[in-house]
Structure 1
Amino acid sequence: MNRRVRTAALVGRLRPGLYGLVVLLVLVDTAVDLLDSTAGPAAGVPGGVLLAAAVLALSAEALRWYLGREGHRGPEPAPTEVAPPVTGRWHALNSPADKVPSHGTRAYGQAYAIDIVHEPEDRPRPAFGWWPLVRRNGDFPAFGEPVLAVADATVVRARDGRRDHLSRNSYPALLPFFAEASARDLAGPGAIVGNHLVLDLGDGTYALYAHLKRGSITVREGERVRAGQVVARVGNTGNSTEPHLHFQLMDAADLHTARGLPFTWRGVGVPGNGETFTA
């Protein structure tokens, strides 16, 4: 691991603590003012300390952006062919077939990530609109759908303790969703991807499945899996507006240091934004 990658990983792990320190200092300062209004400004947290903490947190943010930009220069790698992670009729969103990085960022190995939602012909997916504000996950056909290993692989990470939250697929829910997303980003990649699974496909290639259903992962770390094996089920955890599968290939299992790798699904290719496909 080179110095840039080590530095990026360190900065990524320090971010939650730095922002947490700023929030803690502000809360302490506010509490002192409320509890003892006669003590005067000097009794609270010194302004210089607050400023220093804020500058440190913002500097870490700028350094993280710079390291991420510098670390992804050069030609795009060739795609790796793997089997589709689902079966049936699905719809693609945020696809690398239309732009890279597909999700607007290369952080957490997401450069070539794709989101897919289940679109069976006999059960329409709820439309995005004004009402209802939120929906239960069972209203979406993707929720609980099986997720498959895309190749023979070894499980290197399995996390499924986070709860599945209600959907955010309405216009009024977007503003709180974006605020929530910012908080999740500060908390680190685990809060973004929610329940997730990482498979080691060999040759320095790893597959990430994100937003999985709580308690649905059927494999353990260190276990070998076969292509096509059911390894989990689609959920709605982490930074997700509705039940869907987020899939990506990357060059490391650690999301703090991973760089995205392009993929192509055998028999499907890379479906573009808005494209419906059958696997």
Structure 2
Amino acid sequence: MSVRKARMVLYRVSWIIFFVMVVISVLTRPPFPYWLTWVPAGVAVALALTAGRRGRAAAANPRAAVEVEPPVTGRWTALNSPADKVPSHGVHAYGQTYAIDVVADPAPGAGGGAAAAPDAVPGAGAGAGAAPGAAADGPDGAAGAGHEGAAGLARPKFRRLWPVALRNHHFPAFGAPLLAVADGTVVHASDGRRDHLSRNSLPALVYLMLIEASVRDVLGAGAIVGNHVVLDLGDGTYAMYAHLRRGSLKVRAGDTVRAGQPLAECGNSGNSTEPHVHFQLMDDPDLDVAVGIPFTWRGIGVPANGDAFTVAEGVHGSAGTRQGGAQAF
């Protein structure tokens, strides 16, 4: 086990010990002094502050951006883009320095974005936001019903109070095919986590930010990114797709894939506020130790926050179109 991996394990163990000690202090007369309860919390915070040092160093002297194909087709809008700030999700942890979120918005001017972007940043530097909430199995659970978000469905607006949450079929991204951005080998593929309800209202967002994101952070990278695929693109570069739809995998670990090949479908698993695509390049397949790598999408560049872009079906390797002021990163 590497030092970086051991640091992340100790970080999670420290928070678990803290929570256990708090519960003991509340329910019984603890056999330890009150101040001792905060020691593991202090250790966890210290570890969190040091965990991103390698990412910060890499961002200070970034390597050249790796050009790959877009992971989607159709019309999408960028959020949490590295074209606007680095680290794009506020943290370097889990290889997210140059990660990007995109939401399907096929009807120009329709829908309305959420007040917060689809990925929220939990306590120790994870990044990707949502909660388990009520089960979303059935129509929004395992894949098989096709791309519910097709036919120009508008993206729902963020609501202050009601509805608190929406089922995933209301979002045009849900079920959209995700494509290999380059030739490569599947290193990891998982799709067993359920797709939960959206978190696109103020009460749901508060629950996410104050409770669920922190719990997922302690549970580990898998709870943050949900169902995900990692591709080895060669030359020490790995591509990661997060929040995949339950049961939608088209590949498995060890498979060789070609650019443009379907991998899975867009979902709402893990730490996510709504169905969207979280994409990133990184230098290691293990999210606990990975450092982000800059990317650029062929024919598009790196769309800035709020910029829409369109990729036609079956034209991977050709230029896409972009609306707004997106810049190549």
Relative to the length of structure 1, the TM-score reads: 0.89
The CA distance in 2 between the partners of 1:244 and 1:17, in whole Å, is 30
Matches within 5 A, 1:13-52: 13-31=9-27, 33=28, 41=29, 44-47=30-33, 51-52=35-36
- Equivalent residue in structure 2 for 1:235, among 267, 274, 279: 267
How far off is 1:7 after superposition?
A: 2.4
- Equivalent residue in structure 2 for 1:176, among 184, 187, 207: 207
The CA distance in 2 between the partners of 1:128 and 1:25, in whole Å, is 38
Partner of 2:90: 104
Residues 1:154 and 1:22: Cα distance change in structure 2 (over 3 Å)? same
Query: Does the Cα contact within 8 Å between 1:208 and 1:247 map onto a contact in 2?
Result: yes
How far off is 1:60 after superposition?
A: 3.3
Query: Does the Cα contact within 8 Å between 1:28 and 1:45 map onto a contact in 2?
Result: no
- Equivalent residue in structure 2 for 1:277, among 295, 309, 316: 309
The CA distance in 2 between the partners of 1:254 and 1:57, in whole Å, is 25
Partner of 1:159: 190
- Equivalent residue in structure 1 for 2:45, among 61, 67, 85: 61
Partner of 1:143: 174
Q: Which amino acid aligns with 1:142?
A: A
Matches within 5 A, 1:182-261: 182-261=214-293
Q: Which amino acid aligns with 2:258?
A: R
Greater share of residues in helix: 1
Q: Deviations over 1:197-222 (max 9, x none)?
A: 10000000000000000111111111
Q: Which amino acid aligns with 1:140?
A: F
Q: Deviations over 1:159-210 (max 9, x none)?
A: 1111100000112221101021122112211111011110000000000000
Consecutive unaligned residues of structure 1, counting only runs of 5 or more, are 34-40
- The alignment partner of 1:255 has SS state of coil
The CA distance in 1 between the partners of 2:13 and 2:192, in whole Å, is 22
Query: Does residue 264 in structure 1 map to residue 250 in structure 2?
Result: no
Relative to the length of structure 2, the TM-score reads: 0.76
- The alignment partner of 2:56 has SS state of coil
- Equivalent residue in structure 2 for 1:123, among 142, 149, 153: 153
- Equivalent residue in structure 2 for 1:82, among 60, 68, 71: 68
How many residue pairs match? The answer is 263
How far off is 1:14 after superposition?
A: 2.1
How far off is 1:273 after superposition?
A: 0.2
The CA distance in 2 between the partners of 1:222 and 1:53, in whole Å, is 45
Q: Deviations over 1:51-76 (max 9, x none)?
A: 44631342233133224135532411
Query: Does the Cα contact within 8 Å between 1:8 and 1:64 map onto a contact in 2?
Result: no
The CA distance in 2 between the partners of 1:150 and 1:70, in whole Å, is 26
Q: Which amino acid aligns with 1:210?
A: A
Residues 1:53 and 1:217: Cα distance change in structure 2 (over 3 Å)? farther
Consecutive unaligned residues of structure 2, counting only runs of 5 or more, are 108-151, 312-329
Query: Does the Cα contact within 8 Å between 1:160 and 1:216 map onto a contact in 2?
Result: yes
What root-mean-square deviation, in Å, do the aligned CA atoms of Structure 1 and Structure 2 show? 1.6
How far off is 1:149 after superposition?
A: 0.5
Percent identical residues? 57
- The alignment partner of 2:11 has SS state of helix
Show structure 1 runs of 4+ deviating over 6 A: none
How far off is 1:29 after superposition?
A: 4.2
